Structures are given as structure tokens and as C-alpha cells.
Structure 1
């Protein structure tokens, strides 16, 4: 059972983020896009944190977040967007659909380790 789900269509980013989190005590699952992310979340009730890209094929990260909040009714999982997008309108949409936080790539693990552990009850 995972406590973090990393959702990104880039193999490299999934490996970097998932690897770093695994090395720092997290149980990590991965998904290749928002559709896959929803399936993973439905099958693993232990997920407390989702770290997702925004721009992905099949289903983008913001649509996935909206479906998590509205269709699944999951208000508890924390959703962090890890993206190259720094557009204020996109950030606003993220806030409107229930995104917890927004991190502009590149991923700096040491900067997010403490809050991620807190989200997952590891601190």
C-alpha cells in the first residue's frame, strides 16, 4: 500500500520523484497520466499525497484533481502539481478544483521533504 502517488507522463520525472521519495521513507506508486492516476487512487485507499504533472495525454493533472474531489468525493488526499506551468490563470484553476499546492519544476526534493512527510503522517 502506497502513501504517495506520483503521476507524470515522463518516465524520467516519475523515476526522479518516486526514487527520491522512496529513499526518504515514502511508499510510492506511480501513474502515467491522470486516467491512470484515478485508477491507482481508487485501488489504494492508503494514498495520502498525489504529486502530479499538469500537462499529460489522456487526462491532465487538473482534470484528475477535479475528478478526485467531485466524482470520488475525496477531500482528504493532498494534491500537489509539479509542473513547468507558472501561469496565474492555471494556478487559479488548480485552486478552484482542489489542488493543495503548486511547485514549478525542477523538482527539489529537500525543499518539499518536510511538508510531504507531514501530509503523509511521517513526521
Structure 2
């Protein structure tokens, strides 16, 4: 299973990618929403995107909106992984098409729990 980790912080991309690889994902990384759209164009089989909100070039909410406009990407699960924790921001992201929302900082177990809720844990990881 492939996951796309989208964050302008290289450190945060590495943290999220490391957790995902540890549970069986192939992680691909992008530094902003436009780079992520380009990666989706070039890569088949992405089932999950972990998306930061605040990024240069294209923010996470715009990325979510653009992904939801494309029929071929409708089955990709979109999860915001961001410091934006206000209720209004969460509502906006979910209304735009995000499936789940995880507020930074988070623990690896919190990320695994969200994936379990979404039915996206590889079989060997299901608890």
C-alpha cells in the first residue's frame, strides 16, 4: 500500500513516513500541495494522503479540494495531519473532503488508531 506524506517540514515528513513504513506502507513524500498533485499524477496505487494544512505554493485545504475534483482520485483517503486545531478548521477540512483529522503533535499510536478507524491498517498490523 502506498501513502503520500505532504508537509513542508522535512522532519515531519520523515516522522510520518517512518510510522507508515513501520506498519507496512510504502511512503512517498512531497513538500507542498502542488508537488503532491504532481506525485499523484506520476504514481499509481496511492491509497492514503497525510496532509499538512500550512504549506507554501499550495496549502493542504486547496490540495484536498483539487483531489476531490478528480474522479480517478476519489477513492484516496485524505487525512489532515496539522497543527490547525480549531473546530472551524476541522469542519472546513472535513467539508472539503478530508476523511480524518490528526492534530500535531501526535504519537505513533494516535496515527495508527486513525488508520485503524479508516480501515487502512495492513492486515498484520490490525490490533
Measure how far apart 1:115 and its partner are. Answer: 4.5
In structure 1, the partner of 2:9 is: 10
Alignment coverage as a number of residue pairs:
120
Identify the residue that residue 40 of structure 1 maps to in structure 2: 39
Query: Do the aligned partners of 1:49 and 1:116 also contact (CA within 8 Å) in 2?
Result: no
The 5 Å alignment of 1:47-58 reads: 47-58=46-57
Structure 1, unaligned stretches of length 5 or more?
none
Q: What TM-score comes out, normalization by structure 1 length?
A: 0.89
2 CA distance for matches of 1:28 and 1:105? 19
Q: Offset of 1:8 from its aligned partner?
A: 0.2
Q: Confirm whether residue 60 of structure 1 aligns to residue 56 of structure 2.
A: no
Segments ≥4 residues shifted beyond 4 Å = none
Which sits farther off after the overlay, 82-91 or 3-12?
A: 82-91
- Equivalent residue runs for 1:103-114 within 5 Å: 103-113=102-112
Q: Secondary structure at the match of 1:119?
A: coil
TM-score normalised by L of structure 2? 0.86
Cα distance between partner residues in 1 of 2:109 and 2:87? 25
Contact 2:100 2:114 in 1 (8 A): no
> Could you say which residue in structure 1 is the equivalent of 2:79?
80
Which is worse superposed, 96-105 or 106-115?
106-115
* RMSD (Å) for aligned C-alpha atoms: 1.5
In structure 2, runs of 5+ residues without a counterpart are none
